[in-house]
């Protein structure tokens, strides 16, 4: 057996080192302020653009870095280690643009991908609604054909990075009388389209530096050439996209969990109680060992899912759901244990432990709750 079978190739290790160096110097220092002020970290965004880490998945032919699925996960993991909110920059750019890469026309790809690759604009993804979260097929947003155009009306909710995006992948029902799930289509909406507006940012528990808001579509006229893929196939495209991007949520989760574990190890080695470093106590050592063990298991699953995403394997649906589910549950457990290990110091904002714990929760919710992930996995098993 090859001794390096489960070792990242050198180019991936070099990529990780490059991202880590940039994040430590120019992203992580902005994390606490972005969280405290609930403001988008523009300085971090510019640093990621300068490093070509803001949308690394975009192919080179469109001016992007051409990173594969695993490389993109490594970028997102390392950014999340320094600033969870900033990790949504490459993650949401991939989420918003992937439908174009999967089903867009060459003209659409050439129009929308190069500006994102240059860092001129960000892309957001408009699928969820207040009453259509896990049950996406029940969405109420409508798109009515009018000549060669489509007119969109409705509201999308919980849209990550909506207040800072310029392009939006929006899903709407185009055939109200059609078969449920086979009557939705995908469209590109632009920020300056008449009738389109972005709502007030939500007040959130975590990832506050990544603004989340509603999209309001009041008779937005979209040219026919902004229909992405085939009319009626939009929900399939949305779910196919999520099969790939759930892996990046797993990458976020393990990056955040690594930051929390690193903090727990440092603190318990330095904190003295009863004349000894806290890390010398067996109970603490058992906690740290369990945290590290769970994290490494989740990391390996995320990387395995990323490889399947790159190949487009038939079992990607299972592995994407499993990676997202295990990694996010692990991040929640590790960040909670970190707060516990730090005691009172973990509960106050002087150290980032409480931020890590707040940030971790969303990874169990967005891009499909972990209850939905378990349903996805079970359906794959029972086919």
Residues labelled catalytic: 367
- Give CA angle at 15 (9, 18), nearest 5°: 145
Per-residue DSSP letter, 134? S
Alpha helices in the chain (DSSP H): 10-22, 31-37, 42-51, 69-82, 84-103, 106-118, 234-270, 282-311, 316-342, 344-347, 353-362, 370-382
C-alpha span between 235 and 227 (Å, rounded): 13
Q: Which residues have C-beta within 8 Å of that of residue 225, sequence separation ≥ 6?
A: 105, 107, 108
Per-residue DSSP letter, 223? E
Tokens read off for 291? 């945290």
> How many residues are listed for the chain in this entry?
383
The answer for 195, left when phi > 0, alpha when psi is -120 to 50, beta otherwise, is left
Contact 140, 128 (CB under 8 A): no
Contact 44, 54 (CB under 8 A): no
Residue 50 CB neighbour total at 10 angstroms: 12
C-alpha span between 349 and 301 (Å, rounded): 32
Which H or E run contains 179?
Answer: none
Rg (CA), the chain: 21
Q: Collapsing DSSP states into helix, strand and coil, what is residue 360?
A: helix
Contact 317, 243 (CB under 8 A): yes
Tokens read off for 335? 């960040």
Tokens read off for 340? 């516990």
Question: In angstroms, what CA-CA distances link 259 with 174, 209, 330?
Answer: 44, 17, 13
């Amino acid at each position: 057996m090859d001794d390096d079978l489960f070792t990242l190739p050198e180019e991936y290790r070099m990529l990780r080192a490059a991202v880590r160096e940039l994040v430590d110097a120019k992203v992580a220092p902005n994390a606490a302020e972005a969280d405290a002020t609930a403001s988008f970290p523009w300085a971090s965004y510019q640093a990621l653009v300068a490093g070509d880490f803001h949308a690394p998945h975009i192919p080179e032919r469109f001016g992007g870095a051409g990173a594969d699925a695993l490389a993109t996960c490594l970028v997102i993991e390392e950014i999340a280690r320094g600033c969870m909110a900033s990790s949504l920059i490459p993650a949401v750019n991939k989420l918003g643009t992937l439908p174009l890469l999967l089903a867009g026309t060459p003209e659409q790809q050439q129009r929308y991908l190069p500006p994102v690759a240059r860092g001129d604009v960000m892309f957001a993804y408009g699928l969820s609604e207040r009453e259509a979260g896990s049950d996406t097929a029940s969405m109420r947003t409508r798109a009515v054909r009018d000549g060669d155009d489509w007119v969109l009306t409705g509201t999308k909710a919980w849209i990550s990075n909506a207040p800072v995006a310029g392009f939006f992948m929006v899903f709407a029902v185009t055939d109200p009388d059609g078969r449920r799930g086979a009557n939705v289509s995908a469209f590109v909406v632009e920020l300056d389209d008449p009738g389109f507006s972005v709502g007030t940012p939500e007040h959130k528990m975590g990832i506050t530096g990544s603004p989340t808001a509603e999209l309001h579509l009041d008779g937005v006229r979209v040219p026919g050439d902004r229909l992405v893929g085939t009319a009626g196939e939009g929900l399939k495209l949305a779910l196919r996209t999520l099969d790939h991007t759930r892996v990046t949520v797993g990458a976020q989760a393990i990056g955040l969990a690594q930051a929390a574990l690193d903090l727990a190890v440092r603190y318990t080695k330095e904190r003295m109680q009863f004349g000894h470093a806290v890390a010398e106590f067996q109970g603490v050592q058992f906690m740290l060992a369990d945290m590290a063990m769970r994290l490494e298991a989740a990391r390996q699953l995320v990387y395995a899912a990323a490889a399947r995403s790159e190949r487009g394997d038939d079992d990607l649906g299972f592995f994407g759901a499993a990676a997202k589910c295990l990694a996010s549950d692990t991040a929640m457990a590790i960040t909670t244990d970190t707060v516990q290990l730090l005691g009172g110091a973990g509960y106050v904002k002087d150290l980032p432990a409480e931020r890590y714990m707040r940030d971790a929760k969303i990874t169990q919710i967005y891009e499909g709750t972990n209850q939905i992930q378990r349903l996805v996995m079970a359906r794959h098993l029972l086919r």
